Amino acid sequence: MFLLSLALAAAPMNLKPLEAELVKQHGEAQRARVSRGLAQVAALWRKEDGELAPFVRAFFIADEATLTATLARFEAHLEQLDGHLLEIGRAWRTPQELEVGPLLPVDPVFAAYEPAAHLSDDLFTNKLAFVALLNFPLTTLDERLAAKGWSRADWAAARLTGRFARRVPATVQQEITNAQTAADLYIAQYNLWMHHVLAEDGRRLFPAGKRLISHWNLRDELKAGYADAEGLARQRTIVRVMERIVTQQIPAAVIDNPRLDWNPFTNVVTVAPPETVEPDAPARAAKPDGRPEPDVRYARLLANFHAQKKADPFSPAAPTAIERAFAVGAEMPEARVKALLEEVLSSPLVPRVAALMEQRLERKLEPADLWFNGFLARGPIPEAALDARVRAKYPTAGAFARDLPRILTALDFSPARATYLSERIVVDASRGAGHAMPAARRGDFPHLRTRVEKEGMDYKGFNIAVHELGHNVEQVFSLYDVDRTLLAGVPNTAFTEAIAFVFQAKDLELLGFPKPGAEAERLRVLNDFWQTWEIAAVALVDLEVWHWLYAHPKATPAQLKKAVVETASRIWNRYCAGVLGGRDTPLLGIYSHMVSYPLYLFNYPLGHLIAFQLEAQVAQRGQVGPEVERFSKFGLVTPDAWMMNATGAPVSAAPLLRATEAALAR
């Protein structure tokens, strides 16, 4: 094992005499535990921690009952510690994340504070981390992936020591938080007033008051265009907007500014005629300034990279952020995840699905069709009609919260379980696009955040809310109903995304539209395939950009921008241009996650693949709610172990590809 060999090499003293002493005291049966525990402690022990031998003599536990009680004590206390620190951070970020009034200059400073930044330092300094490492095994990814016959206590012990596998200084952890908070605020304020984004011929294509955040709302508005007479013109305009954002040719003055008109085709900025400016428009400069945004997007991404890189020397088993994202975060090797993505991207099914799309559209595909949603039941329903229905039901975030019992019952939860869940989910009006925030201790509750405009929640907000509700339901079950709180959660982000996708697929039914029939189900499979293909390409861009960053750690924002544009264009040309045209477009670089959520995007295509497997299981059993509850309560084991419990098969792209082949045949 790499970590153990490193420990022995870096040990501050010869461990053999101490090992012999402990074996003599506790018996030969304890030799393996003594040897492993000593090596694990020595790997992270520093001079300032004092003498190793007295600590080891005092805290090595040989008695099985005491060992079991110690694990339980760690579990109970860490739940309280993690939970309360999470609550403090959530409270301090509230003004930045929620629509609770204008931001004060001090709010980003509060939001950047990380209450848990010193936690790891503190637990090493007071030796609690070393107590865990001395007495419980610190496992490698290979050991966890190969685990057979592990008890729930074995898994809990692995999760306990796993949190102490690295000793990252608090100053580094705080810098990581600062960089992510700054990037998140930048993205949360990146809105465009679409009434003032003009078509190539200068027409106003979008209604007054439509304010869309990049990239989420821009993408969803593009999807809505398939049911609109002006849809294609709007889609082409949004694509041009996205390209200008990626290349940073967008004039800085037009961001979140309804007092300027902007033609993204010509990149010309003009003062908006007074009669076109929204009555409640915020105060903004009305000077036609065409100067481009000065690579802020890439400065934020670069700041995230530099902050993450500072943790590398303190992570011997996973010495890059990329390795930590996969070996620690996803618990799946990068090579395996990348192979799954490429299996979908290179599938011979892609041109066949694209040909069917062209038949339905009666035209050649264009770059905007990367986000084609014409297979969905909502495809022919105008966005305005969906917006009107949602606004009537949910004028406020509170109205959505009050409807949770009905929504959950419609998702096959019993009335008692629907009440149980709705009492444990808090609904907030988000300043950004929306997200789900978990709780970390029983007694606190997950928060569902979605966008609610002054006129009420629109369809985009509802669609996001249903997605986030899936996260929240998983978060309730995997905290409140899991047997061990050290196992609270799911194997990685892709799994909670998968459950959220299962919920999101039901959004129209929850609005009162008919349940899909056999043909609608066939089309849903094709839609799932196309969505997975799209986001797999985006995820590859994200991964390649991070590899580029590690190869060019001294890059400037301008150099990073050039690399992102080139990477996005190259991957587009390889996988997308053959069916969508638009050679050399940087469109795949638009996702805001690249800026504010480091190395997150691969979780989405992985989540789609997992969601498809889970949906097949749900369909077989005939009920969403009970199956989601069963999945979620299994907790934080490895991905394949979780999937075997849920569906009887490991994570795979094969079920989606087989179903797509069958859907095309029908």
Between 378 and 242, the higher pLDDT residue: 242
| pLDDT at 431 (0 to 100) | 86
Cβ atoms of residues 6 and 43 within 8 Å: yes
pLDDT at 8 over 50: no
| pLDDT at 632 (0 to 100) | 95
Answer yes or no: is 477 within a domain. Answer: no
pLDDT at 451 over 80: yes
What's the pLDDT tens digit per position in 209-218? 999 999 999 9
Structural domain ending residue among the three candidates 155, 185, 215: 185
- Listed in sequence order, the DSSP H helices in 362-492 are 383-393, 397-402, 404-410, 415-422, 459-480
Q: Are residues 38 and 98 in the same domain?
A: yes
Residues 289-314, mean pLDDT to the nearest whole number: 97
| pLDDT at 380 (0 to 100) | 65
CA distance 516 to 524: 9
525: tokens are 């499979």
How does strand 447-450 pair with strand 426-429?
parallel
Answer yes or no: is 137 within a domain. Answer: yes
CA distance 618 to 630: 11
Structural domain ending residue among the three candidates 185, 220, 240: 185
pLDDT at 491 over 90: yes
Q: Are residues 629 and 609 in the same domain?
A: yes
Q: Is residue 426 classed as helix, strand or coil in its secondary structure?
A: strand
Cβ atoms of residues 662 and 449 within 8 Å: no
| pLDDT at 13 (0 to 100) | 62
Count up the domains in the chain and report the number: 3
Structural domain ending residue among the three candidates 246, 261, 294: 294
Q: Are residues 46 and 16 in the same domain?
A: yes
Q: Are residues 166 and 51 in the same domain?
A: yes
Q: Are residues 164 and 72 in the same domain?
A: yes
Residues 376-394, mean pLDDT to the nearest whole number: 84
| pLDDT at 494 (0 to 100) | 87
What's the pLDDT tens digit per position in 144-173? 999 988 999 999 999 999 999 999 888 998
What's the pLDDT tens digit per position in 66-98? 999 999 999 999 999 999 999 999 999 999 999
Q: Model confidence at 645, in pLDDT bands (50, 70, 90)?
A: very high
Residues 476-489, mean pLDDT to the nearest whole number: 97
How many residues does the structure list for the chain? 666
CA distance 36 to 438: 34
| pLDDT at 2 (0 to 100) | 38
Helix (H) or strand (E) holding 211: strand 211-213
CA distance 397 to 452: 7
Q: Are residues 565 and 629 in the same domain?
A: yes
Strand partners, 121: none
| pLDDT at 379 (0 to 100) | 55
Q: Are residues 221 and 325 in the same domain?
A: no
Residues 54-73, mean pLDDT to the nearest whole number: 97
Q: Are residues 303 and 220 in the same domain?
A: no
Cβ atoms of residues 542 and 605 within 8 Å: no
Answer yes or no: is 455 within a domain. Answer: no
| pLDDT at 133 (0 to 100) | 97
Q: Are residues 10 and 154 in the same domain?
A: yes
DSSP state of 115: T
CA distance 183 to 646: 36
218: tokens are 């821009």
Q: Model confidence at 505, in pLDDT bands (50, 70, 90)?
A: confident
| pLDDT at 293 (0 to 100) | 97
| pLDDT at 456 (0 to 100) | 94
DSSP state of 200: T
Give pTM, 2 decimals: 0.83
Q: Are residues 288 and 364 in the same domain?
A: no
| pLDDT at 336 (0 to 100) | 95
Q: Model confidence at 6, in pLDDT bands (50, 70, 90)?
A: very low
Domain that holds residue 341: 299-374+516-665
What's the pLDDT tens digit per position in 513-537? 888 788 888 998 999 999 999 999 9
| pLDDT at 9 (0 to 100) | 39
- Tell me the average pLDDT of the chain: 93
CA distance 75 to 82: 11
Answer yes or no: is 142 within a domain. Answer: yes
Residue with tokens 């070996």: 327
Residues 315-319, mean pLDDT to the nearest whole number: 86
Q: Model confidence at 224, in pLDDT bands (50, 70, 90)?
A: confident
pLDDT at 332 over 80: yes
| pLDDT at 493 (0 to 100) | 87
Cβ atoms of residues 324 and 313 within 8 Å: no
Q: Model confidence at 615, in pLDDT bands (50, 70, 90)?
A: confident
Q: Are residues 112 and 219 in the same domain?
A: no
Q: Are residues 179 and 190 in the same domain?
A: no
Q: Residue by residue, what is the 3-state secondary structure of 33-73? A: HHHHHHHHHHHHCCHHHCCHHHHHHHHCCCCHHHHHHHHHH
Answer yes or no: is 356 within a domain. Answer: yes
pLDDT at 303 over 80: yes
Neighbour order of strands in the sheet with 426-429: 426-429, 447-450, 434-437
